[in-house]
Amino acid sequence: MTIKEKIRTDIEKNRARIKALGPGLITGGAGDDPAGIVTYTVVGATTGFSQLWLLLLSTPMLIAVQNMVARIAIVTGKSLPEITTAYYSRKLTIFMITVLAVANILTIGADLNAIAAILHIVSGFPAVYFLIPITAMIGYLITFGKYRFVKGVLIVLTTVLGVYILSAVLAKPPLLEVLKNTFIPHIKADSAWIFAALGMLGTTISPYLMFWQASEEKEEKKSVVQADEVSFDTITGMLWSNLLAYCMIVTGAVVLYGTDADIQDISTLADTLLPLTGEYAFALFGFGIVVAGFLAIPVLAGSTAYAVADTFGWREGMDYKVSDAKGFYIVLVGALVVGDLVDMFPGITVVDALYYSQVLDGMLIPLLIGIALTITNNRTVMGEYTGTRFQNGFSILALLFTTALTLVMIWRCFA
């Protein structure tokens, strides 16, 4: 093969890879939902640049975990609930999806509230006026839009989140200090630093991302040989996700670190940012929040619907019409509606919703990683596609970190 022929072949391969981008890229973007944006910004505001190295470490963990569940779904042709039922027990599956559904609905409520809060700031109308129209718009898109159209919209929204990269550049961070904290690990012994670190890791590695990508890979890829193709999509999506998170932390550190700002949700974050950044920079931030919400909420609702449908053997998938997969779409729309009700319920604040969803996610993620590690290293199930050293090593590291997160969350609940 000549050099020209090799270059032409490589170009064609890369074009095919780019065209195949989908589940991994969307999953990565959806990981930076409005609740995540608040968490990453608070990490920067409370710890400065000191946790950038930890986010760098979490990137291969996130890639390993997501790639592992995606390969399992393609090789076995089963989603995570189906795998758990087949190899463990139905009771365990029902417990898992119950925890997932409650955590997802609480997060949906928090994300809907975040979008409404930004629109309230822009328009002056009460935030509650926007909740039902936003929910109806998202529900209509994912219920009546064709799968390819929905996928295209989600990919566009994922790329638009690049505004947070622009925000970090405009913040003009001290480059040498940023690089130093990115590549030189150091740990502070105070509880605020540790809780911020655990919160960041819990936001970065989330159960709903695992359920969503596994279900989407099973739906899109019908051949076992495609298991090797998923890595590029997953790596691209997770790198994009953590690059955005990195930029959010940097921006939070530059603008808010040392100000002693009391940030609890989007509203308090907005009140803090607006006088410090000016209208144009805040408009960029607000636009990113709205886009992130419209990307993450369908993924949260969709992962819930996939999980419930697969647990009870219902027909599922956004390729089907509503009349052909009624149970799937009832759960999907129901998750959005209940998320709305969470916002309207006077006894639950957004802070409560975020906290308890994080506690529930913390309980679920070590269990999911443990199950996935067992399956991916079972040669009888996976054949030649068993877990690689990279997948196993960083997935075990993720298991240890998320187990620590669970123990701390439980301790905080009963302290």
Q: Which pLDDT band holds residue 5 (cuts at 50, 70, 90)?
A: very low
Contact (CB, 8 A) for 281 and 287: no
Tell whether the model's pLDDT for residue 16 goes beyond 50. no
Tell me the average pLDDT across 11-33: 56
Alpha helices in 313-349 (DSSP H): 326-344
* pLDDT at 373 (0 to 100): 92
Distance from C-alpha of 99 to C-alpha of 91, rounded to nearest angstrom: 13
Q: Which pLDDT band holds residue 347 (cuts at 50, 70, 90)?
A: low
Tell me the average pLDDT across 128-149: 81
- Percent of residues, the chain, with pLDDT higher than 70: 81
Q: Tell me the pTM.
A: 0.82
As a whole number of Å, the CA-based R_g of the chain is 21
- Cα dist. 345→29, 128, 349 in Å? 29, 11, 8
Tell whether the model's pLDDT for residue 63 goes beyond 50. yes
* pLDDT at 7 (0 to 100): 41
- Cα dist. 136→124, 132, 323 in Å? 21, 6, 19
Tell me the average pLDDT across 321-331: 88
- Percent of residues, the chain, with pLDDT higher than 90: 12
Single-letter residue type at 14: N
pLDDT digits (tens, 9 = 90+) for 174-230: 999 999 999 988 877 777 787 777 778 777 888 888 887 777 777 665 555 445 555
Distance from C-alpha of 392 to C-alpha of 397, rounded to nearest angstrom: 9
* pLDDT at 118 (0 to 100): 84
Tell whether the model's pLDDT for residue 120 goes beyond 90. no
Concatenated DSSP letters of 34-99: HHHHHHHHHHHHHHTTTTHHHHHHHHHHHHHHHHHHHHHHHHH---HHHHHHHHT-HHHHHHHHHH
- For 165, counting Cβ atoms within 10 Å of its Cβ (0-12 exposed, 13-18 middle, 19+ buried), the class is middle
Q: Which pLDDT band holds residue 18 (cuts at 50, 70, 90)?
A: very low
Single-letter residue type at 145: G
* pLDDT at 252 (0 to 100): 87
Tell whether the model's pLDDT for residue 328 goes beyond 70. yes
Q: Which pLDDT band holds residue 15 (cuts at 50, 70, 90)?
A: very low
Instruction: Please tell me which residue, 232 or 326, carries the higher pLDDT value.
Output: 326
Tell me the average pLDDT across 238-250: 88
Distance from C-alpha of 316 to C-alpha of 219, rounded to nearest angstrom: 9
What mean pLDDT is reported for the chain? 79
Contact (CB, 8 A) for 200 and 400: no
Tell whether the model's pLDDT for residue 10 goes beyond 60. no
Range of lowest pLDDT (160-174, 196-210, 331-345): 196-210
Q: Which pLDDT band holds residue 71 (cuts at 50, 70, 90)?
A: confident
Contact (CB, 8 A) for 44 and 257: yes
pLDDT digits (tens, 9 = 90+) for 292-319: 888 888 888 988 999 999 999 898 877 7
Domains contained in the chain, CATH given: 3-414 (1.20.1740.10)
Token output for 290? 């709205």
Q: How far apart are the first and last CA of the chain?
A: 67
Tell me the average pLDDT across 379-402: 87
Distance from C-alpha of 241 to C-alpha of 25, rounded to nearest angstrom: 8
Tell whether the model's pLDDT for residue 110 goes beyond 70. yes
Other C-beta atoms within 10 Å of 198: how many?
A: 21
